[in-house]
Amino acid sequence: MRSVVIVGGGSAGWMTAAYLNGALNNQGQDSNVKITLIESPDIPRISVGEATIPSIKHLLAVVGVDELEFMRATEATFKQSIKYVNWVNNDNTFYHHPFSRHKVTPIDHSARKWLESDRSIPFMETVSAQPLVCEMGRSPRLIGNGSSEVNLNYAFHMNAQKFADYLRDFSTQRGVKHILENLQAVELKENGNIASVKTDNDRTFEGDLFVDCTGFKAKLISEVMKVDVEDCSQWLLCDGAVTMHVPYEDYYPGMVRPYTTATALSNGWIWDIPMQSRRSIGYVHSSAFISSDAAEQEMRAYQGVNTTDLDSRHIKFSVHRRLKTWEKNCVAIGLSGGFIEPLESTGLYLSDLGAVALAEHFPWTDSHMEAMAFRYNRILSNRFYEILDFINMHYCLTKRTDTAFWREVQKPEHINDRLKAKLEYWKMKLPSALDFEDQCFDGGFVTGQNHPAVDTAALWNHDSYLCILLGMDYFQSEDQQMGKELPSSSLYKKVYERVQWAHKHLPLHSDWLQSTVGMRSFSASSKPKGWVT
């Protein structure tokens, strides 16, 4: 039997333990791998709202979790899109990046067709029913067992602390061993591998593989294995966040939005994530352009007046990538492996990917360790760069000039070379599927750390790139500038029919949550304490 020791709990630790147990031990029915998770009882636990992407449903299925049970336990709500507000200009305009869109066959000319129109309807609303379903506040699923004529992909918003607790209870009932003790020491073998870890209760835990889920402290991968990081802050300037929870008892906006809102503010952006009893909001900002106190004031102004009774929390971070997430017999998953700001909800995803990739590349013998580590590192680094490029694009395409921050992020020195090559190429042709076979464009092969970085479009294919490019008005229209009369934008018939069906049949998101997973009913007239009208 192989033995895995996970150091650190939280979402990363328990996602890893649960997935390995599901994938390698048949959800605890077999005993192929002994899994032990050591978690400090002294580290403060932080309750935040997290948004996910649809890949989370694969993790839940492999773990063996019932979706409705998971939603009840974690205050989860549906997420169908990210709504970007004020990213192009500071004028309250927005566009959606949804999870579903209509596929035009055999060749999709929808983007070209829209570019040659008057653009009176946002591009994604012409090819997807989901933006309007979101704006109507509808659930992607019907109440009960009825079949839907609108196939809407979705992810979840949830309480990350409750998610970790849920996976902990679920996994320990199925054979994962949970140790609530502090890491005291690490013993190495002559070859540099970790032999065992020792806790403050003078207990020693040996293992074949050790997983570092200790967050930014990176107790194993950094302090013991001495793996350095690559600083990526040149491409993403934000380095802090101030967060706050807004309970529905204090203020209920009248609906539970079935999407994440990302609103650009003066020096960054604010997430707005709805759960079943409250909203989680957080202002991601750059300390070079705004102080922590000023950022908090701006976040509170976003929410509304008289929020002084609501506690806030300040977080500092750096955008970086561990040069190797797997070194010898130590694997870093979660924040110990790196961090990218959560603009596209990839925080939990990187832990998800780390666990899934580890199960697929599990070293059943020590002789396989090096080969599995090489491929694992390659996959994780490629995915990091894909996320980095995609988020970098949101910033550099803005047309905002109202603050020094937004003027700065557009400068060439803050656009990485891989993204520059893509954007230059797409001036000649619109993105298409074959653009992601490799990253060799006319300017040459753009390299990453040690090996050329390849955007495999594993997360975002040409459709997602088109969504952002067209949403951010990347392609200028000479005809529009010259005042030429252009045909009106129009929805595809299939999209129009889906919108109409959704309007008639899909329940409000809050109604679905109340009837199916037991969300409480709140009054839309509730205002923050001391609210002044």
Beta-carbon contacts of 460 under 8 Å, excluding residues fewer than 6 positions away, are 344, 386, 390
Domain count, the chain: 1
Whether the pLDDT of residue 531 is over 60: the answer is no
Comparing 276 with 447, the larger pLDDT belongs to 276
377-403 pLDDT tens trace: 999 999 999 999 999 999 999 999 999
Strand partners, 158: 50
- Assess whether pLDDT exceeds 70 at residue 131: yes
The strands making up 177-180's β-sheet, listed across from edge to edge, are 177-180, 33-39, 2-7, 209-212, 330-332, 326-327
Q: What is the pLDDT of residue 149?
A: 80
Taking the mean position of all CA atoms in its chain, how far away is CA 267?
21
451 with 324: CB under 8 angstroms? Answer: no
Predicted pLDDT at 47: 62
Q: How far apart are CA 387 and CA 459, in angstroms?
A: 8
Average pLDDT over residues 518-524: 92
Q: Which of 34, 57, 79, 219 is catalytic?
A: 79
Confidence of residue 43 (pLDDT cuts 50, 70, 90): confident
Residue 39, in any domain of the structure: yes
Sign of CA dihedral 492, 497, 498, 500: positive
Pinpoint the alpha helices (H) of 226-324.
292-303
Residue span of the structural domain in which 39 resides: 2-76+157-230+322-384
Report the alpha-carbon angle 392-396-397, nearest 5.
115
CA distances from 81 to 128, 252, 302, 341, 382 (A): 11, 21, 21, 18, 24
For residue range 176-187, what is the model confidence (pLDDT) as tens digits? 999 999 999 999
Q: Is the pLDDT of residue 24 over 60?
A: yes
The β-bridge partners of 320 are 231, 339
Task: Supply the DSSP symbol for 488.
Answer: P
Instruction: Say how far apart CA 520 and CA 522 lie, in whole Å.
Output: 6
In a domain, 28, yes or no: yes
CB 52 within 8 A of CB 260: no
What is the rounded CA–CA span in Å between residue 132 and residue 119? 17
For residues 21 and 35, the answer to whether their CB atoms sit within 8 Å is yes
CA–CA separation, 298 and 149 (whole Å): 42
What's the pLDDT band for 246 if we cut at 50, 70, 90? very high
Peptide bond connecting 106 to the previous residue in cis, omega within 30 degrees of 0:
yes
Please give the angle made by the CA atoms of 376, 216 and 382, to the nearest 5 degrees: 30
Cα 528 to Cα 37: distance, rounded to the nearest angstrom: 41
Alpha helices, H only, 75-203: 110-115, 123-127, 130-135, 160-172
Phi, psi of 423, rounded to the nearest 5 degrees: -65, -40
Residue 528 has pLDDT above 60, yes or no: no
Q: Does the pLDDT value for residue 268 go beyond 70?
A: yes
Question: Is 144 inside a domain boundary?
Answer: no
Both tokens assigned to 340: 């990218």
pLDDT for the residue 529: 47
Choice among 46-60, 196-210, 267-281, 369-383 with the minimum mean pLDDT: 46-60
Nearest to 356 by CA among 3, 76, 18, 32: 18
Q: Is residue 203 part of a domain?
A: yes
Task: Give the number of other Cβ atoms within 10 Å of residue 70's Cβ.
Answer: 22
Q: What is the pLDDT of residue 316?
A: 96
Q: Can you give the pLDDT at residue 148?
A: 81
The region that residue 39 occupies, defined by phi over 0 for left and psi between -120 and 50 for alpha, beta otherwise, is beta
d(CA 295, CA 299): 6
**pTM, entire model:** 0.95
d(CA 207, CA 445): 41
pLDDT, position 411 = 98
Residue 91 falls inside a structural domain: no
Mind listing the pLDDT tens digit for each residue in 134-171? Answer: 999 999 999 998 778 889 999 999 999 999 999 999 99
Q: Give the whole-angstrom CA distance, residue 142 versus residue 148.
A: 7
Position 514 pLDDT exceeds 50:
yes
Q: Flag whether pLDDT at 365 surpasses 80.
A: yes
How many angstroms separate the CA atoms of 367 and 32, rounded?
Answer: 18
Helix-strand-coil percent breakdown of the chain, rounded to 5? Answer: 35, 20, 45
pLDDT of residue 459: 94
List, in sequence order, the alpha helices (H) in 237-327: 292-303
* pLDDT value at 532 more than 50: no
Q: How confident is the model over 225-232, as a mean pLDDT?
A: 97
CATH number at residue 192: 3.50.50.60
| 156 phi/psi in degrees, rounded to 5 | -140, 155
Collapsing DSSP to helix, strand or coil, 78 comes out as: strand
Task: Please tell me the distance from the alpha carbon of residue 188 to that of residue 170, in angstroms, as a whole number.
Answer: 32
pLDDT of residue 485: 86
CB 268 within 8 A of CB 440: no
Q: Is residue 182 part of a domain?
A: yes
486 found inside a domain: no
Q: Is the pLDDT reported for residue 6 higher than 60?
A: yes
pLDDT at position 530 is 43
How do beta strands 330-332 and 240-247 pair?
A: unpaired
Mean pLDDT of 468-475: 97
**pLDDT at residue number 525:** 56
Cis ω before 247 (30° cut-off from 0)? no
- Which tens digit of pLDDT belongs to each residue from 309-361? 899 999 999 999 999 999 999 999 999 999 999 999 999 999 999 999 999 99
pLDDT digits (tens, 9 = 90+) for 76-124: 999 999 999 999 999 999 999 999 999 999 999 999 999 999 999 999 9
Does the structure show a pLDDT above 50 at 376?
Answer: yes
Active site annotation includes 324: no
Please answer whether residues 256 and 77 qualify as being in contact, where contact means their C-beta atoms are separated by less than 8 angstroms.
yes
The answer to the question of residue 90 being in a domain is: no
Radius of gyration in angstroms for the set of CA atoms belonging to the chain, rounded to a whole number: 24
Cα–Cα separations (whole angstroms), residue 513 to 60, 164, 187, 414, 462:
19, 21, 49, 42, 33
